[in-house]
A = this chain, B = another copy of it.
Amino acid sequence: MTSIQNVVLGADCGGTNIKMAILDAKGKLIAKDLQPINYSEPAPAVVKNMADRLLRFLKANGVSRPKGLGIGIAGDVDPDKGAVRFSPNLGWSNVPLKKYLSRHLKFPIIVENDANCAAVGAYWLDAKRDCRNLVCLTLGTGVGGGIIIDGRLYRGATGSAGEIGHMTIDYKGRRCKCGNYGCTESLIGAWGIILSAQEGLARGEAPVLKKILKEPGMKLAPKAIAMAAKRGDRFCKELWNRTGEQLGCVMSNCVNIFNPERIILSGGVSKTGPLLLKPALAALKKRAFKMPVSAVKITISRYDENLGVFGAAYLLLE
């Protein structure tokens, strides 16, 4: 088998697995894979395991030496040192990931925050790089943010930039997991939406949702709350109206601050449909300045599961 040249390797580390992809120099997919990782071992052993998975994946696809590896990690990352300062998902504190990986992988390595990788992925996949400035919001359990300025990932002074999930829009509001109050994430992240639904259920205000949750296989999650709203649950409808208004407010802040050509929404919650998007777009139009609103295009990503792992690889092609 001839060795494939001139390719880049991307990886995205979730809490239980590692996603991997090989892309060519133009960013086109050659191969991808997903492998389980046991993150409970000590960090050097986990990293050795990661490296083994990556090397096997390369070998299986006839790649002996990629141009480099880009690896996305949920948490606070030091991109200069390639270290993970803190990752609650992986249970890591101050892990010199690049240093550990370099023991096994003899090619350049870039370590980056996963939401930043998703922004780079969205810039290549969803925006086709046809704009200069883009904001990407990942609406999952939490809310991740990534910012592309002038065609490049914006990292800030310590690689910590882009935390739009922890931008306050209700400063007297609910306490967020980060310690702040009224963060974007505490309101429109899935955990925030679920918490609001729990409060409604506890007050007996969401009878349709209560019924749905008794159906087999149903759990309290945005999907069930959307189903309840569609079946006429007034509380759930109102909850989506409010969540949409909050999302519109977040986008309005992004528009007034960044004046971007694109905002790309990804993640499970972004797939809720008109229940969320109609009030969101109405609030955006009502709240933001006219000129930058007229210049922004808002889209839902079609590449959710690939954004992080592709984006990590694209970092080597930037």
Please name 12 further chain A to chain B contacts, defined as beta carbons within 8 Å, in addition to the given A76-B291, A168-B253, sorted by A numbering.
Answer: A76-B289, A156-B258, A157-B259, A160-B289, A162-B259, A168-B252, A169-B182, A170-B170, A170-B172, A178-B289, A180-B288, A253-B253
Whether a CB of chain B sits under 8 angstroms from the CB of A237 is: no
- What are 15 A-B interface contacts by the 8 Å CB criterion? A132-B157, A149-B154, A157-B260, A157-B261, A160-B256, A166-B289, A167-B253, A167-B256, A168-B249, A168-B287, A169-B169, A171-B249, A179-B286, A179-B287, A180-B287
User: Once bound together, how far apart are the Cα atoms of A229 and B291, in whole Å?
Assistant: 40
User: What distance in Å separates the Cβ of A66 from its nearest Cβ neighbour in chain B?
Assistant: 29
Question: Which residues of chain B come closer than 8 Å to A295, judged between CB atoms?
Answer: 157-158, 160
Q: A246-268, CB under 8 A of B: which get 1 and which 0?
A: 10010011001111110000000
Whether the pair B157, A256 counts as a contact (CB closer than 8 A) is no
Question: Which residues of chain B come closer than 8 Å to A160, judged between CB atoms?
Answer: 256, 259, 289, 291-292, 295
User: Once bound together, how far apart are the Cα atoms of A163 and B289, in whole Å?
Assistant: 9
Whether a CB of chain B sits under 8 angstroms from the CB of A296 is: yes
Question: Which residues of chain B come closer than 8 Å to A291, judged between CB atoms?
Answer: 76, 85, 158, 160
The chain B residue sitting closest to A159, CB to CB, is B259
Whether a CB of chain B sits under 8 angstroms from the CB of A186 is: no
Q: How big is chain A's contact interface, by range?
A: 35 or more
Whether a CB of chain B sits under 8 angstroms from the CB of A155 is: yes
Contact (A158, B76) CB under 8 Å given A170-B170, A252-B168: no
User: Once bound together, how far apart are the Cα atoms of A182 and B171, in whole Å?
Assistant: 10
Whether the pair B169, A156 counts as a contact (CB closer than 8 A) is no
Whether a CB of chain B sits under 8 angstroms from the CB of A115 is: no
Residues facing B in A79-136 (CB within 8 A) are 85, 131-133
With most chain B CB atoms within 10 A of its CB, the pick from A145, A169, A181 is A169
User: Once bound together, how far apart are the Cα atoms of A171 and B249, in whole Å?
Assistant: 7
